[in-house]
A and B are shown apart, each in its own frame.
Chain A
């Protein structure tokens, strides 16, 4: 299995045919297994870029390669399948499906990807793997299992979301400001736990945030405004 480096080239994206360019990126590459901090202030096209990498939005021109797969050449259904199999996402907040339990939220991607289900249950049962990941994220599955996920603290919810992104060892983890809702002390601990697990699986991490305080623990920091020509000028200066 190829590990997922990410490569964008000649990427142009607008939400409507006549609307303004939102992404205009000549070239951007992330090496396989790298941990990249993508600094993206508001309006720099960060959300759009994540939707494009996730295959949910389709650029008008350009190529996106993840591992050895040109996702821009895939059909929408194949992109959805690729996302389910190969990418784990963690968002800023409200990451969990309220009507699913703790373990069910962690194993949710396995409902849409047989490949991730097989990988997750290669050495133990799916539930045991979910419990392992939750424990790794310093949560006590036995203690939290009976509680509705909406009653967990924001920090706990983010760690459950991280466990969900990691289940079935996807090649690429995309984290969209996952630490912005948790206090400063917990941020580094959260990232350390995340990196411990991605190091084990060899997954590439793209971490998007406007918080520059965390850049030290990443392999490389890229300013999105500097690679996206469509980002507003005032944001370049930010």
Chain B
């Protein structure tokens, strides 16, 4: 206890360098835990986005690409699935439900998803949670739209507000489907998934806004009004992807093989969990590189502390001699230096943790809006705590070197140092 008090007072006496050292350690711990948070946050955010879907079907491309555009709204499909294939899949005896997804348009930067009302019954996220409405109900009319929670919040939309869909995914100002505005009939509760940033309309609605379009532009001379479109056959010719729920999970691999080997259309069926795992494997190297960088930053923070303690030893010889003269043992001298290192590291680690939570609190909405990544603010995980423990342990070890040197020095100096 005496040594701990001395260590505290000694550090306070050199508070400028001590504070700078603590800050260096805090920033390195912030980076270490921040990388960990982003890593686990990204994983759980991705893993939580889809649940209860047994297969995802898209045009034949890569499994990761299909997963990214169909579920995470990242990137685009290279091709579509014909309506006939969709119909065949829905009629398959093993299929309990099939949700068609039609993507490609947007509204003020948010993607528009054309689907069926069954989407709100069957889509699951997180721990197999159902979608819930904060306000309103699923779309019924051709020009009804259901907003994700974040769309409504960010754009300050409420029920009955008009939504004009932009053709394609370009920024505002590209060609708009302004002749057929939609109306907000429902707002979903937050899910912490890309659904929050999606505007849902019916497949027929998606078809309706494109009846007088071809190849990404209006057909010259052809104008179909919103009301005229209602009278037309709005059965889509194609969809972007299909989410499938099976009656029995045992049928998964059989149906996957059947779809992948379908000779009528080149399709790709993937298992969401397997595709996610493949995606993590792809990202493994980047993750390892990030972790290695943050570990090196922590090491440099601790190295700074080591330099501070070692540099101070010369001018602290008298202090050590006085302590020896009043009865301090070499072990006390050792303990004093180790306690200083431990205090610096612990305060740095705690400050780093506090900075992380402060940063999360401030930046969480922005990270969700900008990157679609939901980083939960929750108690440190066991892995976070073990990382903190490892940093503090490394701080103890780093303190052992100046402590040992001070110990040797004080043994050689004894009680009298004439500097």
Question: Cα distance A91–B319 when bound, in Å?
Answer: 12
Are B322's CB and A83's CB within 8 A?
A: no
Query: Which of the candidate stretches B9-17, B184-192, B298-306 sits at the interface with the other chain?
Result: B9-17
**Residue contact B329 to A91, C-beta cutoff 8 Å:** no
Q: Is B416 an interface residue (CB 8 A)?
A: yes
- A89 partner, pick from B326, B330, B418, beta carbons under 8 A: B326
Report B-chain residues with C-beta under 8 Å of the C-beta of A84: 326-328
> Complex Cα distance A8/B329, Å?
23
- Residues of A near B416 (CB, < 8 A) are 47, 50-51, 91, 176
**Chain B residue at minimum C-beta to C-beta distance from A52:** B414
Cross-chain contact A56 with B327 (CB below 8 angstroms): no
The residues in B between 1 and 25 inclusive whose CB is less than 8 angstroms from any CB of A are 2, 5-6, 9-10, 12-14
For residue A78, give the distance in angstroms from its CB to the closest CB of chain B: 10
Interface string of B330-360 (1 = CB under 8 A from A): 1110000000000000000000000000000
Q: Which residues on B sit within 8 Å (CB–CB) of A92? A: 418
B325 at the interface (CB under 8 A from A): yes
B327 contacts which chain A residues (CB < 8 A)?
Answer: 80-81, 83-85, 109, 112-113
Roughly how many angstroms separate A77 CA and B326 CA in the complex, as a whole number?
13
Task: Compute how far the CA of A91 lies from the CA of B416 in the bound complex, rounded to whole angstroms.
Answer: 8
Which B residue's beta carbon lies closest to that of A164?
B326
CA distance A195 to B408 in the complex (A): 36
Q: Roughly how many angstroms separate A87 CA and B10 CA in the complex, as a whole number?
A: 25
Interface residue from A56, A81, A96, A176 paired with B324 (Cβ < 8 Å): A56
B interface secondary structure, majority? helix
Contact between chains at B415 and A50 (CB < 8 Å): yes
Give A234 Cβ to nearest chain B Cβ, in Å. Answer: 21
Considering only CB atoms, which chain B residue lies closest to A99 in the complex? B13
- Does A54 lie within 8 Å of B318, measured CB to CB? no
B414 and A97 contact, CB distance less than 8 A: no
Inter-chain contacts of B331 with A (CB < 8 A): 77
A112, B9: Cβ atoms closer than 8 Å: no
Residue of B nearest to A176 (CB): B416
B10 closest partner in A (C-beta): A99
Q: Are B322 and A111 in contact (CB under 8 A)?
A: no
A residues in contact with B35, CB < 8 Å:
none
Which residue, of B9, B319, B327, B328, has the highest number of chain A Cβ atoms within 10 A?
A: B327
Contacts of A111 in B (CB 8 A): 2, 5-6, 326
Contact with A along B267-304 (1 / 0, CB 8 A): 00000000000000000000000000000000000000
Of the candidates B5, B13, B414, the one whose C-beta lies within 8 Å of that of A98 is B13
Instruction: Note all chain A residues with C-beta closer than 8 A to B324.
Output: 56, 80
**Nearest CB on B from A132, distance (A):** 19
Q: Are A97 and B415 in contact (CB under 8 A)?
A: no
B323 in the interface (beta carbon within 8 A): yes
Interface string of A87-114 (1 = CB under 8 A from B): 0010110111111100010001101110
- Residues of A within 8 Å of B319, CB to CB, are 97-98
| In the complex, residue of chain A having the shortest beta-carbon distance to the beta carbon of B322 | A97
The verdict on A100 contacting B9 (CB below 8 Å), with A84-B326, A112-B326 known, is: yes
Q: Is A3 an interface residue (CB 8 A)?
A: no
Q: For chain A, residues 53 to 84, give those with C-beta under 8 angstroms from any C-beta of chain B.
A: 54, 56-57, 76-77, 80-81, 83-84
Chain A contacts of B10 at CB under 8 A?
99
- Distance A56 CA – B5 CA, assembled complex (angstroms): 24
A-contact bits for B122-163, CB 8 A (1 contact / 0 none) = 000000000000000000000000000000000000000000
Please, which residues of chain A bring their CB within 8 A of the CB of B13?
98-99
Bound CA–CA A123/B294 (angstroms): 57
Tell me if A97 and B323 are in contact (CB < 8 A): yes
- Please judge, given known A-B contacts A56-B415, A97-B319, A111-B2, whether A91 and B325 are in contact too, CB under 8 Å: yes
The residues of B that contact A89 with a CB separation of less than 8 Å are: 325-326, 415
Residues of B within 8 A of A112 (CB): 2, 326-328, 332
* Chain A, range 31-60, C-beta contacts under 8 Å to B: 47, 50-51, 54, 56-57
Please determine whether A80 and B415 come into contact, CB atoms closer than 8 angstroms.
no
Shortest beta-carbon distance, B343 to chain A, in Å?
14
By beta carbon, the residue of chain A nearest B329 is: A80
**Cβ-defined contact, B415 with A99, below 8 A:** no
Which residues of the partner chain A approach B12 to less than 8 Å between Cβ atoms? 99
Q: How far is the CA of A137 from the CA of B323 in the complex (A)?
A: 22
Instruction: For A164, list chain B residues within 8 Å (CB).
Output: 326
Q: List A127-150 residues whose CB lies under 8 Å from chain B.
A: none
CA–CA, A92 to B325, complex, Å? 13
B residues within 8 A CB of A176?
Answer: 416
Contacts of A100 in B (CB 8 A): 6, 9
CA–CA, A60 and B13, complex, Å: 40
* Min distance, Cβ B326 to any Cβ of chain A, angstroms: 4
Contacts of A94 in B (CB 8 A): 318
B13 and chain A: residue at smallest CB distance: A99
Partner of B329, one of A54, A77, A96: A77
Alpha-carbon distance between A96 and B319 when the two chains are bound, in angstroms: 8
Do residues A51 and B329 form an inter-chain contact, with CB atoms below 8 A?
no
The residue of chain B having its C-beta at the shortest distance from the C-beta of A96 within the complex is B322
Bound complex: CA A77 to CA B9 (Å): 25
Q: Which of A50, A80, A95 contacts B322 (CB 8 A)?
A: A95
Give chain B's interface residues, CB within 8 Å of chain A.
2, 5-6, 9-10, 12-14, 318-319, 322-332, 414-416, 418
Complex A-B: 16 CB contacts under 8 Å? A51-B415, A54-B414, A80-B328, A83-B325, A89-B415, A91-B415, A91-B416, A92-B418, A97-B319, A97-B322, A109-B326, A109-B327, A111-B6, A112-B327, A112-B328, A113-B327
Can you name 19 extra interface pairs (CB under 8 A) apart from A50-B416, A104-B9, A112-B328?
A: A47-B416, A51-B416, A57-B414, A76-B329, A80-B327, A81-B327, A83-B325, A83-B326, A84-B326, A84-B328, A89-B325, A97-B319, A98-B319, A99-B12, A100-B6, A109-B326, A112-B2, A112-B327, A113-B327
